[in-house]
Chain A
Amino acid sequence: MLIVACFALAMLGSLAFALCYGFDLGSEALGASIGGAFAFVGLGLAVWSQMIENREPDYVEERAIGPSPTEKWQTFEKALTTQPVPRVKVLWGMLGMSVGSIGLAALFPLRSMFPREGLNPQQVLEHTRWKAGQALITEEGERIKPDDLDYGSVLTAYPAGVIPANVDEAEYNADAVTLLIRVQPELLKLPAHRKAWVIDGVVGYSKLCTHAGCPVGLYADQYAQLLCPCHHSIFDVLHGAVPVDGPAPRPLPQLPLTTDSEGYLVALGDFTAPTGAAWWGFQP
């Protein structure tokens, strides 16, 4: 009786699913009805199988345990290795080599998975698009003046310039993305040659964490610290973005900044180091 009831309820569940779908009742109703239908089928079957279990004895099945008897194995080995045609070793060897060569040839098309230009990782990874005199723009494409930022403010900046057709801007600039932070200039403790790159307290660092490349998007204004949410490295903005906690070993590279004649921010060149995660061949 119980089993029959279960199966009947399952049919009801299926019907309910059809109705829920028909009336567009949302995923809860759909999930409840079809899930319920499956649950009742499962319950019915479980009870049914349990009833069988309760009536059935334990069965015994014999198991053959290897290895094969010596005689059988020898017959098999003989059948496998006996060859009616002579010079067998040469033929098998050549067959192996020819199939292998086809396998090697098949590897060549895989090369197409590499980028069409800039195959050398060193060239691709070492530099970003920043060049001397290149203007900084916001996500909306507007140029930036230091006064656009308040003390304690942050702004994400990209290199201005023509982006090739069919290339997404954010993708094209993934390694060049820069975080501008404005701090009180007297608080900044930078190496002497980097001090000139700070314009009215605006300092630019790579936004990519030097550990695993996540955007270092969390800025705690009170402590002038940048935090990477992926692995919780913390960088001290006032001391050249050196890591003060977490798994990142290298500071965020700094972008040399200056202003042009109209007072807009422009870059003086590329970052002080390659941005993002390190690789074999990385030179700081």
Chain B
Amino acid sequence: MSRRHPVTGTLRKVDDRLEIASVAKTAMAKVFPDHWTFMLGEIAFYSFLILVATGVYLAIFFDPSSSETIYKGSYTPVSGHEVSAAYASTLELSWDVRGGLLMRQAHHWAAHIFIGAIVLHLCRIFFTGMFRKPRELNWTVGVTLLGLAMFNAFAGYSLPDDLLSGIGLHIFYSVALSVPVIGGWVALFAFGGDFPGDAIIYRLYALHILVVPALIFLLITVHLGILIRQKHSQFAGPGRSNANVVGSRAWPGYALRSFALLSLVAAVTFLAGGFAQINPIWVWGDFNSATVLSPSVADWYVAWIEGALRLFPPVQVWIFGNLIPEQFWAGALLPLLTFVLLYLWPFLDRVITKDRGTHHLAASPRESPVRVAIGVAALTFYGILLIAGAEELISEWSRWPVGFIRDLLRVAVLAMPVVTGTIAYVVARTLKRSGKEGVLFLSWRDFRPSRTREETTEPATGETFPEPTWSDPTVPGSAVAGEAFREEPVPGPPLVLDGAEQEEERSLSEVPTWLKRSKTKGQR
């Protein structure tokens, strides 16, 4: 390059000091599989960035104190009167700080998107079996991130000291009390005394803006570090094996696409923040431990716990004269079990499927009907608990008594997972046997059990790509070949900014011909 490009010129100076060229080239050549579900995690990551950006803005104006102060802003029903500093500063943020309401609402919507994307990402990983070896570790990191995200959302929601979040904290306190043996200590430790005390907002604030985000940031780094080290998983396809990754390169295609997603996440967040009111704390009122409002409902990511508390029957279990309070089972044990099961899932799956192999090819969900069944049953279970978290709204709209809806849901929460799980199992098994492309392609005939077909029928349509394991001697570059530490990137050309055409021709020539997509019409 004779003429210095302004950007490359600067980079050259950096390279002079850090020698970045080879590292950067490797990074730019990183291959991302093209399947759309691989971007679910990216939505979560980008909404986290937006949470941090908007959260910093909010922290500048928010006063995390429950001491009384006089609100002097423009919300007339409170103006000139005493409320807690946390509530007053949130009112100011919403009514008086220009742009504050947009930031507050965007922050809140981003939290919904963050956790929602994590849940979808988790479902994708679960149903395609990509928690299997060697990704068990990254699965546990991801589950931890989900837990931290849920906790931090709850903590942030509780900060403004409004009536609705105060009720939520009261339930949290009661659930903390219910832990056997140490419950009283746990609750007093968390709240610094009897509920509500004056310490909880400071404590949640420290956790919400510092400790938990730092942990999330750290774990995202670990999550992505493991991802880069292990490289992406991918769906099976022509030329795809356990020993390679096929897809787009980081630069320029995938990076632009990813930045597009960042912008779209920001767009959706700010549009929602501008056009949809969320958590109007001036409506709910400031916290007063003697009052309540109806409906007292929770945010969806904790509403399933609320729903479980509603459905759990009024039983008191006494052990040696000590009561295990009824709110323990649904409020503390269920979330605990949920996360324990999530953490243990890769190991449980290994026991169920007896599959100890290394997998880099994402399975089609149908490949393990049992896993599909368990996943669908679990989603049904938590979905019904979530519905129970809104039972008064169902009652309000249907005019059915709450007690009737509760009984219905009590039955449903136990029966429906079995039903949906069975259906999912049958459908997945039928798909697996018939080899058809999707549920819509199935006919009733496919469901008819036929012993002979099960044994004789080969997948009817499409090619199949048997998953090679790492010890497969036919796979080049597998561990047996003895090059585990080599991190040679793509068989690709050196990246030259002004040599695009040349590069393309070369890269095309080096890729096996059957990998060239028919769409590729770049030759000029």
Contact = CB atoms under 8 A, between A and B. Distances in A.
- Tell me if chains A and B make direct contact, with any CB pair below 8 A: yes
Contacts of A158: 290
Would you list the 7 A-B pairs with minimal beta carbon distance, nearest first? A31-B274, A121-B184, A42-B263, A277-B174, A45-B260, A229-B294, A35-B271
B195 A174 contact: yes
Interface stretch (A66-74, A79-87, A91-99): A66-74
A282 to B, nearest CB: 5
Given A36-B271, A278-B178, 6 more contacts: A35-B270, A35-B274, A60-B490, A62-B244, A63-B230, A216-B292
A282 B174 CA distance: 13
Given A115-B188, A174-B195, A280-B184, A59 B246 contact: yes
A158 B291 CA distance: 13
Interface in A27-63: 27-32, 34-39, 41-46, 48-50, 52-63
B484 interface: yes
Contacts of A186: none
B292 A217 contact: yes
Interface in B277-304: 288-296
B194 A174 contact: yes
A141 to B, nearest CB: 14
Contacts of B445: none
A278 B264 CA distance: 48
Interface residues of A, number: 94
B167 to A, nearest CB: 6
B248 interface: yes
Contacts, number: 366
B121 interface: no
B274 A279 contact: no
A107 to B, nearest CB: 12
A125 interface: yes
A56 B315 CA distance: 64
B274 A29 contact: yes
B171 A212 contact: yes
Contacts of B289: 170-171, 173-174, 177, 215
B245 A63 contact: yes
24 contacts: A36-B267, A39-B263, A39-B271, A42-B263, A46-B257, A55-B520, A55-B521, A57-B507, A59-B507, A61-B231, A64-B477, A66-B479, A67-B479, A69-B479, A124-B184, A213-B174, A215-B290, A228-B292, A230-B306, A247-B330, A249-B326, A278-B178, A278-B316, A280-B322
A171 B105 CA distance: 29
B323 interface: yes
Nearest to A28: B274
Interface of A: 21, 24, 27-32, 34-39, 41-46, 48-50, 52-69, 72, 110, 113-115, 118-119, 121-122, 124-125, 139, 156, 158, 167-168, 170-171, 173-175, 177, 207, 211-218, 227-234, 243, 245-250, 276-282
Contacts of A248: 314, 326
Contacts of B167: 214-215, 230
Given A42-B261, A55-B522, A60-B246, A229 B267 contact: no
Contact of B327 (A46, A173, A227, A277): A277
Interface string B458-490: 000000000000100000111100111111111
Contact of A66 (B134, B195, B203, B313): B134
Given A62-B244, A69-B484, A125 B184 contact: yes
Contact of B479 (A31, A35, A65): A65
A119 B193 CA distance: 8
B360 A65 contact: yes
Given A65-B470, A282-B325, A31 B271 contact: yes
A68 B239 CA distance: 25
Interface stretch (B94-102, B343-351, B366-374, B424-432): B94-102
Contacts of B326: 211, 247-249, 278
Given A56-B248, A56-B520, A114-B192, A280 B479 contact: no
B437 interface: no
A31 B360 contact: no
A38 B270 contact: yes
Interface string B8-47: 0000000000000000000001110010000000000000
